């Protein structure tokens, strides 16, 4: 009864905490399932089977959970994969029996746990997003976890991030239970089972934590009562089968805010199935640009080494080879100083300096440091959904300058290591997009890879009336042009006194005005598209835009969608026309012999009417519809 009351109290406490989180700021909960088990009793096999059935059902409904299993040192001799850190979690929850679960810290019997119960836990949304990535190289695991709360959380040192390395499947820790396959077996916390203090958190501000663990020594199968010593040995059966799980928990209340299974970063090497596009622009010539498409086709042998051939716009350009230590060498047979150059070094670890080669002025090959690695190694999720390691090099006019493992520099293109300052001739390079197996992996956020240029602007007003504002507009063709927003400027005002403010043309006098329509990046990436248009500005006419005169009366004006137009007796009007602010004809009336007309269904706005007289004069003024 005491245990029941305690768990009820904890559940009520959680509901109180999450009631502070506005529904609009809640994020999905990935329920943390911590299992305590052992190979030394058959009942744990029954618990394993039941839990696997539950998770199979849950996977079909979204599978929002994080699973970690701690092998225990009881009953009898316990499990050979027991660790002292697993014992810390056992004591944290005061676990005394196996199999047992703690689901978002609440105790559950693994033998009777159901999918309905799991769905109930998952239905409680969270006020914190936890996600991350990890990589494994040789016996070293690197993990990066991002924590983003949606509300302020002030719990001081009690708020901890736990990061643990698990092996997805193990087979060598069989003993007396009859179970021969174990899942999500905890191998090592990073750095330890006490967790990482993360302090108070501010709403919508992401904090990032990184941890590295190198497994020491060789695999050790331990006998009864022996415990792994992480300083000299390990129990990892397959390093390709490791994962990292993480969660944020208050160690005082035991509340779990959220959890995740980190995504494994791609072990990026430069794929022979890659293709990419680069753009060259020039600092001194804003009209110059050049887009080149690179592809890899076939192999060749140069000086006894195997190379893959690189084509530019379907023409052979150079060849590359990748060494066992992930270094990319490019052999250039044309251009200045033919030879083999180290272009990228994708063998990354903290403290290493990444060099590249370039031709010197004496006819040889020199080297320079591209970047020194340290804590600046991070991961980024690209368009294929995978995580790639990257390091920020600096900043450029195109945003952060990054070196992405297996791809190259985002601002310099594959071969070119500098965007700013430009080369002596002013050339600047940028990577537009990168494909692997015809799948778009990277696209420059500032420069559209599938760029469609503007070829023409149409539907531009051709006439205006002096003193009446005219809204300038047009349509950029083709309709699928990447950039279509038009900005207007005066090219030549002539005698009209024309000005443009917020794309509204204002004129004072009769005459011709030339305006320029500009589409940013309309011509090509980095280059504007411009087209000039002439607009004839007509005189205001007899009444000089008075809203009412002896010849034509419009009422009510302002109106509510309907007006009456009355012509003075003896006024010879042939045609009565109404134009909108864009200069487009809205309505046209043949009014010969009429003394009045009724105009209906005008939308809200300012209109210009023009009455054409038989003596070729025009009377022009405004109609305002509210």
Q: Where are the domains of the chain?
A: 26-264, 274-443, 456-538, 552-625
Strands 585-590 and 573-579: antiparallel
Q: Summarize pLDDT for 77-127 with one digit per residue, the tens.
A: 899 999 999 999 999 999 999 999 999 999 999 999 999 999 999 999 999
Residue 7 pLDDT: 32
The predicted structure's pLDDT at residue 11: 33
Contacts of 317 (CB under 8 A, 6+ apart): 294, 310, 311, 334
Query: CATH second-level architecture of 552-625?
Result: Sandwich (2.60)
The answer to whether the beta carbons of residues 340 and 329 sit under 8 Å apart is: yes
> pTM for the whole thing?
0.58
Query: Yes or no: is domain 26-264 CATH 2.60.40.2420?
Result: yes
Q: 456-538: which CATH number, 2.60.40.1080, 2.40.110.10, 1.10.3720.10, 3.40.50.300?
A: 2.60.40.1080
Residues of the chain scoring pLDDT < 70:
1-21, 266-269, 286-287, 289, 334-336, 397-398, 412-424, 448, 450-451, 521-527, 540-550, 561, 581-583, 593-596, 626
Taking alpha carbons only, the member of 135, 185, 128, 204 closest to residue 160 is: 128
Residue pLDDT, tens place only, 337-364:
778 888 888 888 778 888 888 777 777 7
Residue 344, H or E segment: strand 339-345
Helix (H, G, I), strand (E, B) or coil at 129: strand
| Two domains, one topology: 26-264 and 456-538 | yes
pLDDT digits (tens, 9 = 90+) for 569-581: 778 888 888 887 6
**Rounded distance, CA 332 to CA 339, Å?**
5
Average model confidence (pLDDT) across the chain: 84
Instruction: Report d(CA 422, CA 358) in Å as an integer.
Output: 16
């Amino acid at each position: 009864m005491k245990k029941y009351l305690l768990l009820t109290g904890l559940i009520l406490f959680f509901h109180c905490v999450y009631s502070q989180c506005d529904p609009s700021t809640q994020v999905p909960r990935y329920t943390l399932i911590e299992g305590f088990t052992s190979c030394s009793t058959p009942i744990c096999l029954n618990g394993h089977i039941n839990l696997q059935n539950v998770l199979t059902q849950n996977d079909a409904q979204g599978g929002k959970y994080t699973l970690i299993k701690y092998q225990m040192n009881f009953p009898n001799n316990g499990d050979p994969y027991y660790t002292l850190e697993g014992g810390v979690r056992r004591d944290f929850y005061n676990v005394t029996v196996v199999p047992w679960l703690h689901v978002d810290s609440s105790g559950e019997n693994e033998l009777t746990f159901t999918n309905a119960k799991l769905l109930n836990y998952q239905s409680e949304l969270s006020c914190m997003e936890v996600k991350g990535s990890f990589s494994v190289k040789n016996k070293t695991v690197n993990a990066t976890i991002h924590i983003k709360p949606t509300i302020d959380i002030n719990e001081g040192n009690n708020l901890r991030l736990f990061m643990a390395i698990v092996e997805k499947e193990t087979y060598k820790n069989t003993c007396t239970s009859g179970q021969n396959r174990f899942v999500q077996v905890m191998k090592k916390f990073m750095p330890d089972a006490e967790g990482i203090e993360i302090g108070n958190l501010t709403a919508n501000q992401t904090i990032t934590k990184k941890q590295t663990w190198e497994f020491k020594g060789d695999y050790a199968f331990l006998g009864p009562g022996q415990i792994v010593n992480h300083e000299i040995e390990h129990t990892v059966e397959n390093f390709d089968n490791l994962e990292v799980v993480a969660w944020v928990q208050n160690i005082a209340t035991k509340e779990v805010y959220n959890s995740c299974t980190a995504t494994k970063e791609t072990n990026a090497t430069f794929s022979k199935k890659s293709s990419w596009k680069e753009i060259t622009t020039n600092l001194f010539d804003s009209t110059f640009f050049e887009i080149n498409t690179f592809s890899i086709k076939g192999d060749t042998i140069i000086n006894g080494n195997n190379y893959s051939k690189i084509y530019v716009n379907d023409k052979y350009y150079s060849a590359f080879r990748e060494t066992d230590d992930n270094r990319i060498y490019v052999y250039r047979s044309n251009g200045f100083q033919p030879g083999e150059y180290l272009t990228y070094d994708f063998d990354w670890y903290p403290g290493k300096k990444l060099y590249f080669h370039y031709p010197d002025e004496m006819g040889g090959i020199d080297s320079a440091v591209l970047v020194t690695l340290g804590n600046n190694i991070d991961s980024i999720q690209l368009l294929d959904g995978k995580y790639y390691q990257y390091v920020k090099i600096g900043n450029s006019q195109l945003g952060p300058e990054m070196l992405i493992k297996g791809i190259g520099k985002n601002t310099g293109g594959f071969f070119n290591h500098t965007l700013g300052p430009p080369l002596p001739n002013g050339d600047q390079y940028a990577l537009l997009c990168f494909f692997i197996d015809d799948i778009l992996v990277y696209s420059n956020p500032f420069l559209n890879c599938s760029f469609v240029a503007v070829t023409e602007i149409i539907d531009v007003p051709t006439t205006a009336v002096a003193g009446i504002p005219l809204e300038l507009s047009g349509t950029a063709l083709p309709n699928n042009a990447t950039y279509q927003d038009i900005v207007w400027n005066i090219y030549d005002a002539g005698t009209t006194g024309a000005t443009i403010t917020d794309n509204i043309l204002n004129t004072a006098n009769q005459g011709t005005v030339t305006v320029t329509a500009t589409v940013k990046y309309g011509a090509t990436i980095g280059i504007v598209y411009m087209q000039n248009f002439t607009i004839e500005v007509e005189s205001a006419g007899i009444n000089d835009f008075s809203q009412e005169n002896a010849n034509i009366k419009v009422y009510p004006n302002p109106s509510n969608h309907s007006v009456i137009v009355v012509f003075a007796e003896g006024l010879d009007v042939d045609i009565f026309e109404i134009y909108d602010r864009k200069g487009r004809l809205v309505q046209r009336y043949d009014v010969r012999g009429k003394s009045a007309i009724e105009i209906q269904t005008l939308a809200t706005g300012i209109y210009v009417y023009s009455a054409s007289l038989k003596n070729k004069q025009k009377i022009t003024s405004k109609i305002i519809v509210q």
